[in-house]
Amino acid sequence: MREQEAVFKNGNEMAAIAAAHMDFHVMGYFPITPSTGVSEELSSSKAEGLHNIVLIPGDGEHGAAGICYGAALAGGRVINATSANGLLYALEQLPVQSGTRTPMVLNVITRTVSGPLDIKGDHSDIMYTLNTGWIILMAKDPQRIYDFNIVGTKIAEHEDVMLPVIVGSDGFFTSHQKRRNYVFKNRENIKEFLGEYKPKYTAVDPENPITIGPYMNEPDLINNKVQLSNAMDKAYEVLPKILEEYGRLTGRYYNILETYKMEDAEACLFVLNSSFDTAVEAVDILRKEGKKVGIVSTNILRPWPKKEIIEIFRNVKALCIADRQESYGAKAGNMSIEIKATLKDDPENKTLIFNRIYGLGGKEFYVDDALELLKETLKVSESGKIIKEFDYIGAYEGNKHYEEKKYVKDVVSDFFDNKITVEKNKETGELIVKGVNTRNLTEMPKRIAPGHQACPGCGIFPNLNLLTKGLKGYVVFLFQTGCAMVVTTGYPYTAFRSTYIHNLFQNGAATLSGVVEMFEERKRRGEIDKNLEINFVMVSGDGGMDIGMGPVIGTALRNHNMIIFEYDNGGYMNTGYQLSYTTPHLAESKTSIVGPSFAGKSTFQKKGGVSTFHKDTPMIMAGTHIPYIATVAESHTVDFVKKAAKAQYVANNEGLAYVKAISACPLNWKSPPEEQRSVIGRAVESCYFPLYEVYHGITKITYDPEKSQKKMPVSKFYDRMGVTKHLLTEENKEELESIQKEIDRRWNRLKARDEHPLL
Amino acid sequence: MQKSSIPKKNQFGFYEIRLESIGGLGANVAGKIIAEAGVVGMGFNGSNFASYGSEKKGTPVSSFIRYCDEDQPIRINSPVTEPHLLGVFHENLAARIPITAGVKPDATVVINTDKDPQKAREYLRLAGGKIFTVDAIKIAYEEKVRMNVVMIGAITRAMEFVDKEVMKEAISETFGKKYQKQLEANLRGFEAGYSQVEVMEFDEDGRFPVISFKEVQGDWGYENAPIGGVIVEAGSSILKNNQTSRQGKIPLFHLDRCIHCGMCETTCPDYCFSFVEKEDSKTGKNQMFNEGLDYQFCKGCLRCVDVCPVEALTEELEAEHEIDKITIKL
């Protein structure tokens, strides 16, 4: 046995420690709750110099999966972690990787699949991976996450297997629960266990040119799949040996199935992952009463442990399979379907099986729940009759006497009237806005009600207030996933007084363009009153403008009649502040932790330098040649409202308007809530975030800090935020100068565009 | 080797702690430190986790700690429903949610309050038990530390079986690495919390009932909820109450100084201000006038104080004002 040491860590931390201990080469990732802790932990330990893993933030999970696939093709060891719709967004890459036989480890920290959006745990995500050709190990506790990441790597790289592997664990229940765990004291021991990874084919061996991923139709593809199927058989064959070897090194021996008191059990419950332990307590209670009950779970979903499943249930009279998801329409969860199919192949098996769906969307599974299920199973075993084949537990009917209430007065067309006018000057072609006055505008009803759950001092809501003050009449919002949607629509409450749609932040722009065109087409067909005017507004954070950039560009190129409003707080704040592409250069975030071995955002390990500085989204949008682009800041209220009003004019008459605000996040910027308006003011005065608009290709600076003699160096903005403060120290002098230089360059370029209508 | 025995255990062999707080007070970190002290320092087995939502400041959060004997495996993943010790980080929580649910009459409660245990029992409506009070906010201001270390001090005192030095080591382990400068102050805060508690024990005298733990159920269920998760009650968030987000400070509105410019209204993230249309006595024209703010929604960010050009909004201590009297309902 090799020496082990105790650590008190949660599941995400254990996945990160395993990757660090194995000295993986690359992690491509995109933050999604609850898996984010893996990349955060690796960032934190990287800052301390505890490992050499290159952490590459993808533009979305699909991009992250691509990074991982590429990195794996280049012959090194790769890790990723994701959950829920992030996994589904990456899904199409998974068969590509298994079909081309490229090992890596993907931690799936299970969470329910949207919609409606729910960030808590169930197994609806991981069941989508059953057909992907990946090995799937299930880790019921933090200890197993560490162990199965290591064991999984060894299986994946076995020369007769060569398949990627998923390690599935329960979101929050396991990922966020700290437990006492054991890890190898010496990394050398893990190295010995794994051996050197030498894939036969890599993309970076130019002296042996190969083609990876050919165009392969019939009759050949079926042969490729037979090879894949055989590789799974091989994995099934080698797994017990690898587990045995691992047990000898660590004292932690694992079987294919996880079982409890199954030697003589007549009534049995099958559950996956963390619920197993809870159910064990219920078994102990019933065993004391002399009841022959037991629990089964599996440590491996793919390859499917058919032999072991058949054996374990051979003498069981009644079995309840509790699934944490349903295959809708099948009236069964996936484990129920698979186990029933498996037992059909055992002619001797007479087990009575029924299925319960439980714990969806993070609903807790208590010992009492397990007790109830086992008691019902006992009844079935004693009576020889199934009471109910399929049911949900834990759902409720609702209050039948509850009457729907009304919190908004009747909304009519002049309900939201801002008394602002926008006219186009026929000679100059400019838009002239009149009637913007902050005092008068207090008269306008708010489109968003108070009572939302944003942090104190949040910048999003002043921004939304100023935006919507500029919009007259009916508005339909689409919010992409982010802080603003989460804090306004926590069921059963909503802060919206106008119609609101949420879609995941890959796809909001495309979705809203669909709404716009359907509305117009139905008007044309006379299904909707031709005189009805609705303004369609998409609201997104900067995170949504990273992962959703593609659909935004598509929407812009199609030039739909709508507004895209971005609140940019320079990070993925809804998940606790991981870096986005607009995070200030070298700023600290939870995935760019500053320490002795890491300098902050943008220092990915690469040839000859750093990534480009904070993303210049308005200029990207300018490249699509949409009619209107504007930047706004809450520090310049009148300018803000005027631009919102112009955006509405453009959306109604000319096409797409894109408006971007820099938005304060006192919590994650580590900046006092009360100072946020002046902090935003400094972003403008320092030209970090200049205020301008581009109308039909003509750029106008709408506020010039130089002319107002208020221009200040970027350090005056950076010193107001804890996450950039380190850049003001003497040792970072050169770095700060390089940032100032880039800001000056962008500002001077903007001035040139302002001076020359053709630029 | 386990350094002490665990005095009380439930049927599954656990001593259980539940911390009730709001995001931003550091209850998660406190939970982690308390658990780590038990597991790493005392040699118990144990676990720790929190009730997570999204990462927001000011929303309710619970943290759970379980201790058991070193050789006992941990099998329970569900939240602590019947804690031996309940830690309350913010007294306003008492009003909002039944935080004492599942707390039995022989339990220990540690609460951050400026009141004595007798009064604390009254507003917690506690059936019985041992109440430790500590003015953690005041101590935290004095020692310039976050209040969570003060609470850890008081909780350590109340638990009795976790060694004080072990807890200090766990604090050093968490804060030492990154915040070396702050460590001494944190340890002082811990000591102050440990020593400045008031304690009283209450019998179950029938004044207040024992509230058993029940999972929350809403009005909308599968029989009556609109399909697809659609919410039909527009603007219903006005039923919410954001007052627990405040941490002792409020903006106070002075009508006599106000010039009704509307700047406060443009900076307030929580849409608290009431403006009404009235005749301007000077011009005879109708104009918008600021009437003040609705504290039901005010989270105490004080943005409005910062932008007011005429000091018609000032920063004040909440404890010195009767909120009900100064609030202007929206």
Identify whether A743 is part of a domain: no
Identify whether A470 is part of a domain: yes
**What is the rounded average pLDDT of the residues B80-98?**
87
Q: Closest Cα partner for A541 from A513, A497, A508?
A: A508
Question: Do A22 and A13 form a contact (C-beta atoms < 8 A)?
Answer: no
Identify whether A630 is part of a domain: yes
Q: Check residue B122 and give its pLDDT.
A: 92
The model's pLDDT over A504-560, given as tens digits with 9 standing for 90+, comes to: 999 999 999 999 999 999 999 999 999 999 999 999 999 999 999 999 999 999 999
What superfamily would CATH give domain B15-202? Pyruvate-ferredoxin oxidoreductase, PFOR, domain III (3.40.920.10)
Residue B32: list chain A partners with CB under 8 A: 178
Q: Does the pLDDT value for residue B251 go beyond 70? A: yes
Q: Does the pLDDT value for residue B93 go beyond 90? A: no
At A440, list the tokens. Answer: 């008068």
Residues A377 and A462 grouped into a single domain: no
Residues A72 and A127 grouped into a single domain: yes
Nearest CA in chain A to B215: A364
Q: Does the pLDDT value for residue B254 go beyond 90? A: yes
The model's pLDDT over B96-144, given as tens digits with 9 standing for 90+, comes to: 667 899 999 999 999 999 999 999 999 899 999 999 999 999 999 999 9
Residue A366: list chain B partners with CB under 8 A: 78, 81
The model's pLDDT over A106-164, given as tens digits with 9 standing for 90+, comes to: 999 999 999 999 999 999 999 999 999 999 999 999 999 999 999 999 999 999 999 99
The model's pLDDT over B218-242, given as tens digits with 9 standing for 90+, comes to: 999 999 999 999 999 999 999 999 9
Distance of CA A141 to the CA centre of its chain: 22
Domain with A477 in it: 421-573+624-665+689-723
**If residue B294 lies in a helix (H) or strand (E), which one and from where to where?**
none
Q: Check residue A267 and give its pLDDT.
A: 98
Residues A100 and A72 grouped into a single domain: yes
Residues A24 and A127 grouped into a single domain: yes
- What is this model's ipTM? 0.94
Chain B contacts in chain A segment 361-400 (CB below 8 A)? 364-367, 395-400
pLDDT averaged over chain B? 93
Q: Does the pLDDT value for residue A562 go beyond 70? A: yes
Please state, in angstroms and rounded to a whole number, the distance separating the CA atoms of residues A260 and A252. Answer: 17
Q: Beta-carbon neighbour count of residue A525 at 10 Å?
A: 8
Please state, in angstroms and rounded to a whole number, the distance separating the CA atoms of residues A237 and A230. Answer: 10
Q: Which among A441, A577, A675 is the nearest to B262, CB-wise?
A: A441
Residues A633 and A537 grouped into a single domain: yes
Cβ of residue A543 closer than 8 Å to a chain B Cβ: no
Provide the number of structural domains found in chain A: 3
Residues A68 and A172 grouped into a single domain: yes
The model's pLDDT over A43-76, given as tens digits with 9 standing for 90+, comes to: 999 999 999 999 999 999 999 999 999 999 999 9
Alpha helices in A494-616 (DSSP H): 508-524, 544-547, 549-558
Interacting residues of B134 by C-beta distance below 8 A, sequence separation 6+: B110, B111, B112, B113, B150, B151, B153, B154, B193, B196, B197, B198
Cβ of residue A441 closer than 8 Å to a chain B Cβ: yes
Confidence of residue A475 (pLDDT cuts 50, 70, 90): very high
Please give the order of strands across the beta sheet that includes A563-568.
Answer: A499-503, A474-480, A534-541, A563-568, A657-662, A628-632, A691-695, A698-703
Chain A contacts in chain B segment 14-43 (CB below 8 A)? 23-24, 32, 35-36, 39-40
Note whether B287 contacts A408, CB cutoff 8 Å.
no
Residues A241 and A272 grouped into a single domain: no
Q: Check residue A443 and give its pLDDT.
A: 94
Residue A450: list chain B partners with CB under 8 A: 237-238, 242, 270-272, 294, 296-297, 330
Identify whether A179 is part of a domain: yes
pLDDT averaged over chain A? 96
Q: Check residue B82 and give its pLDDT.
A: 95
Q: Check residue A452 and give its pLDDT.
A: 96
Q: Check residue B151 and give its pLDDT.
A: 98
**What is the rounded average pLDDT of the residues A308-336?**
98
Identify whether A744 is part of a domain: no
Confidence of residue B314 (pLDDT cuts 50, 70, 90): very high
Q: Check residue A414 and give its pLDDT.
A: 82
**What is the rounded average pLDDT of the residues B194-204?**
96
Q: What is the CATH number of the domain that holds A17?
A: 3.40.50.970
Q: Which among A275, A442, A573 is the nearest to B265, CB-wise?
A: A442
Poorest-pLDDT segment among A658-662, B212-216, B322-326? B212-216
Note whether B277 contacts A455, CB cutoff 8 Å.
no
Residues A374 and A456 grouped into a single domain: no
Please state, in angstroms and rounded to a whole number, the distance separating the CA atoms of residues B10 and A754. Answer: 72
Residues A649 and A520 grouped into a single domain: yes
The model's pLDDT over A614-664, given as tens digits with 9 standing for 90+, comes to: 999 999 999 999 999 999 999 999 999 999 999 999 999 999 999 999 999
Identify whether A154 is part of a domain: yes
Residues A237 and A267 grouped into a single domain: no
Q: Does the pLDDT value for residue A249 go beyond 90? A: yes
Question: Do A113 and A74 form a contact (C-beta atoms < 8 A)?
Answer: no
Helix (H, G, I), strand (E, B) or coil at A423: strand
Q: Beta-carbon neighbour count of residue A374 at 10 Å?
A: 24
Q: Which among B55, B58, B269 is the nearest to A574, CB-wise?
A: B55
Q: Which among A443, A451, A674 is the nearest to B305, CB-wise?
A: A674
| Long-range contacts at A240-249 (CB < 8 A, ≥ 24 apart) | A242/A151, A242/A154, A242/A155, A242/A158, A243/A151, A245/A193, A246/A147, A246/A150, A246/A151, A246/A154, A246/A193, A248/A1, A249/A1, A249/A2, A249/A189, A249/A193
Q: Beta-carbon neighbour count of residue B188 at 10 Å?
A: 18
CATH number of B237-326: 3.30.70.20
Residues A302 and A446 grouped into a single domain: no
Q: Check residue B97 and give its pLDDT.
A: 66
Q: If you ran DSSP here, which 8-state letter would residue B298 be given?
A: -
* B15-202 against B237-326: fold identical: no
Note whether A399 contacts B303, CB cutoff 8 Å.
no
Give percent of chain A with pLDDT exceeding 70.
99
Residues A438 and A373 grouped into a single domain: no
A/B interface, count of CB pairs below 8 Å: 268
Q: Does the pLDDT value for residue B178 go beyond 70? A: no
Q: Closest Cα partner for A23 from A149, A168, A156, A169?
A: A149
Supply angle C-alpha A512, A515, A519, rounded to 5: 145
Which of B9, B11, B72, B75 to probe by mutation at the A interface, max A CB count within 10 Å? Answer: B75
Note whether A454 contacts B269, CB cutoff 8 Å.
yes
Please state, in angstroms and rounded to a whole number, the distance separating the CA atoms of residues A400 and B291. Answer: 40
Nearest CA in chain A to B29: A178
The model's pLDDT over B39-74, given as tens digits with 9 standing for 90+, comes to: 999 999 999 999 876 567 878 889 999 999 999 999
Q: Which residue has the tokens 């008031």?
A: B198
Separation in Å, CA of A34 to nearest CA in chain B: 10
Identify whether A631 is part of a domain: yes
CA distances to A251, A264, A316, B71 from B44, in Å: 20, 33, 37, 8
Give percent of chain B with pLDDT exceeding 90.
81
Note whether A449 contacts B235, CB cutoff 8 Å.
yes
Identify whether A408 is part of a domain: no
Q: Does the pLDDT value for residue A412 go beyond 90? A: no
Domain parsing of chain B, residue ranges: 15-202, 237-326
B79-B85-B90-B95 Cα dihedral, nearest 10 degrees: 80
Q: Check residue B53 and give its pLDDT.
A: 63
Note whether B76 contacts A497, CB cutoff 8 Å.
no
Q: Does the pLDDT value for residue A609 go beyond 70? A: no
Chain B contacts in chain A segment 128-157 (CB below 8 A)? none
Which of A83, A577, A674 to probe by mutation at the B interface, max B CB count within 10 Å? Answer: A674
Note whether A10 contacts B49, CB cutoff 8 Å.
yes
Q: Beta-carbon neighbour count of residue B10 at 10 Å?
A: 17
Cβ of residue B243 closer than 8 Å to a chain A Cβ: no
Chain A contacts in chain B segment 258-287 (CB below 8 A)? 260-263, 265-273, 275, 277, 287
The model's pLDDT over B8-50, given as tens digits with 9 standing for 90+, comes to: 999 999 999 999 998 888 999 999 999 999 999 999 999 999 9
Please state, in angstroms and rounded to a whole number, the distance separating the CA atoms of residues A367 and B79. Answer: 11
**What is the rounded average pLDDT of the residues B73-81?**
93
Q: Does the pLDDT value for residue B181 go beyond 90? A: no
Cβ of residue A409 closer than 8 Å to a chain B Cβ: no
Provide the angle, in degrees to the nearest 10, between the axes of the packed helices A11-21 and A36-47: 50
